[in-house]
Amino acid sequence: MAPNMRDVQLTEVDIDGAGAGEEVRLLDSYDEENLNKLDENLKRIQVRVTGMTCAACSTSVEGALMGVNGVVKASVALLQNKADIIFDPSLVKDEEITNAIEDAGFEAELLSEPTVSRTNLHGTVVGQFTIGGMTCAACVNSVEGILKKLPGVRKAVVALATSLGEVEYDPSVISKDDIANAIEDAGFEASFVQSSEQDKIVLGVVGISGEMDAQLLEGILSKLHGVKQFYFDRVSSELEVVFDPEVLGSRSVVDGIEGGSGGKFKLLVKNPYTRMASRDLEESSRMFRLFTASLSLSVPVILMRVVCPRIPLLYALLIWQCGPFQMGDWLKWALVTVVQFGIGKRFYIAAGRALRNGSTNMDVLVALGTTASYVYSVCALLYGAISGFWSPTYFETSAMLITFVLLGKYLETLAKGKTSGAIKKLVELAPATATLLVKDKGGKVVGEREIDALLIQPGDILKVLPGTKVPVDGVVVWGSSHVNESMVTGESAPVLKEINSVVIGGTINLHGSLHVQGTKVGSNTVLSQIISLVETAQMSKAPIQKFADYIASIFVPAVVTMSLLTFFGWYVAGVLGGYPEEWLPENGNYFVFSLMFAISVVVIACPCALGLATPTAVMVATGVGANNGVLIKGGDALERAQKISHVIFDKTGTLTQGKAKVTTVKVFSEMDRGEFLTLVASAEASSEHPLAKAILEYARHFHFFDEPSDTSEFKTYSEQAKFSGWLHDVSDFSVLPGKGIQCSIDGKWVLVGNRKLLTENGITIPSNVENFIVELEESAKTGILVARDNTVIGALGIADPLKREAAVVVEGLIKMGVKPIMVTGDNWRTARAVAKEVGIEDVRAEVLPAGKAEVIRSFQKGGSVVAMVGDGINDSPALAAADVGMAIGAGTDIAIEAAEYVLMRSNLEDVIIAIDLSRKTFARIRWNYIFAMAYNVIAIPVAAGAFFPLLKLELPPWVAGACMAMSSVSVVCSSLYLKRYKKPRLTTILEITIQ
């Protein structure tokens, strides 16, 4: 299985549009220009532009460049002070481009970086970065905007829920360090996690004790043939090595360093997922420390306001005059100042970078609200000391608001840890070490060696003892045992593994010892691909989230406007006598009265929960799906799946078991049965069609009473037959798609196939033969005709048993309001018979592979959301054309790559699970938006004082802060409720009703 992965693979990024309509990766949501049509003679240069101060400047430079005749594309990066220009050198020269920039009022300098003749379309890599400091959707939009403007960056998408950014970039134009620096220049924290390059390894180095050791390490790496570049971080003792995979492997790098140091250095491979988990833990710990510190300083402030006045001794101490202020005022001021500018410093920093980037976010609102209450309280104290008129202070508002916000952020970090639990569980399935069998030059095993599982290379022979995990995907070369593959299949029944059996990394060897030859390692293993697929889906953005991000981006300015209107409305009304002075707090005035309402509006309307509504639910749902054997490739797939109205099933291998068996043989000539079967088997021996394999298996069993072994996955039947000596020699063999095969045996022309094959060759089918074929087809069997020298000599009936759950699943879909349809290339009679058995009324038979996609489009034209369930290469066009493609996990790589859902267990019940989980997920997302907005819709009017004239109902700023924090907590808890999802059982599927 090889879905289109990212992160840890060095697969060239497909940007040719081959997967149009599919959003498999997070980056697929980016709208890019189609640069594939660029002329080969185009030239690309980079120019340093100085004098730009804002986005308007960069826009001006871009406009000046695009106005130059011959310039095809111009991209200006404000933060990098660079312009990236693609142009036709036959129409414009380099100096004319720099002159155009200077004419626009800026300074231009042509950079001496190597130029390329055209855009490096297939040289891009995908890098993943952790981004700290993001607090809401507005931050996400800001970071994405910054990244997309960088030269060499083709795509960039940032996920708030995972604090991750995924950037597709050209490493010949911009480095990962440049990208991280650009993020940090914008005021956020950034660190590189991993990229799609496989020729890179990150190692922890033990044994570096001084400068001499560091120089020794550098000397070893400099002499190691195949190492391109390296970087050693002396603070973290991490070594990053980039090497040529055609010259040496990752284990060779480790062995070369350890051997060159004489054993002084010990290297540990750094797992990128483990590194990310440690960062998440650090972030959670840091937020907890900030929250507890703020709480410990805020509680005394609240106690001084609420409790101490009721305790005479303490109250007397608080009102004791100490200089110009009372002791209580001094204490409040001191405690809140630490909270405001010490613990709350992060809000000022975040608000500053947001405003510097021309955006607003949650931090701006928090900074505005807390600063307003703090500054007012300080001014009230100073004014009282000067005038003797003491107004009430609201220090506790600032302190408690910061405390509640930090509580919400801490709970969010905990939620992120829980929602990414599926990835952590999958990572834990991978074995840490493996036992490598060491061989001499002659291939003889001379010893064993324990190595890190991340250092296994293709071709390694590994020893797997009973009770241990299979370290990597491979093939058994010695031994016999049973293996628990429930990790992938969901079935706990042990699977027998003998020589030539395929094993999957992470599965558990139960009994005997095995020797396994590694075939797929690193990111190519099934487990790594599942991890990458789940992670990609958790980072993806559903279309509904994009709308929420847009709302969040304009929400903060709207809130500030509402707050100002609230303040001026109440203040002007008070000054003009619009309400009695009895409403004012003790020693208060109209300004204070109005300000408190305005601060409450700013605090309560924070949109942070809005940005969490969709991604947290998607993260949980993809994790739950993976635990149930359903891999979902993104939030967009979830959103489409919940709207499915039609499900189109392929027949062979999807509704049926895909294991065709010959059930009937009839000879219509003088030839005996054995001779007839030998003739047919000889003709089919060169074919790879499933029906041909079924005929070969039946013929061999007829002659030798021998059941075929499990080696069919590694040897074709033609290879097995070649050495058997019982088949005839065949010449002029050819396959006729959709009809059958033809060849020459002993000088006689032999045809094996369907009616069309025979009639097109002018062969008449006798009535008794036709009646026999019709009888087979009406009993859901496929009839195969055999002719020699223009005469029909016999026929075979082949049956492909239905999957036991097929009929129940079809009935369950109908109960859910989804119409099932079967599309097959088989004949009408067989197709109708199979459809009748499973309960499908709409059947499309004799459809070629390309025709399946046309059937799907015909339903889509009518407004239907169509899902396609298939497994073969011929199903991949239909899987790509469908709104939701569902690939059977045991199917082909191409089918899996074209689909949005992968049903790992090859069980049709998972179609029900996929649709049911999608519906429940989006029902939960709708609830999330209700939770995210309910506080705002209900509480903003209360915070603004709309009900105060009638009910004297108000919302103090610190209570507004609590409500704001609880909105995020409510959304996260609502998403986590999806973890309680229980898949429908076959016994209860029929109880499902249309939602």
**Burial of 449 from C-beta contacts in 10 A (0-12 / 13-18 / 19+):** exposed
The two structure tokens encoding residue 528:
């790594």
How large is the greatest C-alpha to C-alpha distance in the chain, in angstroms?
125
915/917 Cα distance (integer angstroms):
6
664/20 Cα distance (integer angstroms):
45
8/196 Cα distance (integer angstroms):
4
316/18 Cα distance (integer angstroms):
78
Beta-carbon contacts of 357 under 8 Å, excluding residues fewer than 6 positions away, are: 142, 145, 146, 186, 187
Q: Catalytic positions, please?
A: 650
The two structure tokens encoding residue 581:
């002075």
Nearest by Cα to 236 from 199, 275, 200: 275
**What are the residues facing 741 on neighbouring strands?**
735, 752
718/642 Cα distance (integer angstroms):
45
Helix then strand then coil, % of the chain, to nearest 5: 50, 20, 30
697/691 Cα distance (integer angstroms):
10
Numbers of helices and strands, H then E, in the chain:
32, 36
3-state class (DSSP) for residue 33? coil
| Cβ-contact 788, 748 below 8 angstroms | yes
256-265: list long-range contacts, CB under 8 Å, 24+ apart.
256/220, 256/224, 257/203, 257/217, 257/220, 257/221, 257/224, 260/220, 260/223, 260/224, 261/207, 261/216, 261/217, 261/220, 264/207, 264/213, 264/216, 265/205, 265/206, 265/207, 265/208, 265/213, 265/217
The two structure tokens encoding residue 628:
């149930």
CA 523 remoteness from chain centre: 15
The two structure tokens encoding residue 615:
């991604």
DSSP of 652-700, one letter per residue? IIIIB-S--EEEEEEE-SSS-HHHHHHHHHHHHTT---HHHHHHHHHHH
Nearest by Cα to 62 from 74, 80, 44: 74
Reported in sequence order, the residue ranges of 160-256 that DSSP labels E, i.e. its strands, are 164-169, 189-195, 200-206, 227-233, 238-243
DSSP of 97-162, one letter per residue? HHHHHHHTT-EEEE--SPP-SS--TT--EEEEEEEES--SHHHHHHHHHHHHTSTTEEEEEEETTT
879/894 Cα distance (integer angstroms):
10
H/E stretch holding 844:
strand 842-844
794/673 Cα distance (integer angstroms):
9
DSSP of 447-504, one letter per residue? EEEEEEGGG--TT-EEEE-TTSB--SEEEEEEE-EEEE-HHHHS--S-EEE-TT-EE-
768/105 Cα distance (integer angstroms):
92
| Cβ-contact 636, 434 below 8 angstroms | no
**DSSP state at residue 933:** H
| Cβ-contact 693, 701 below 8 angstroms | no
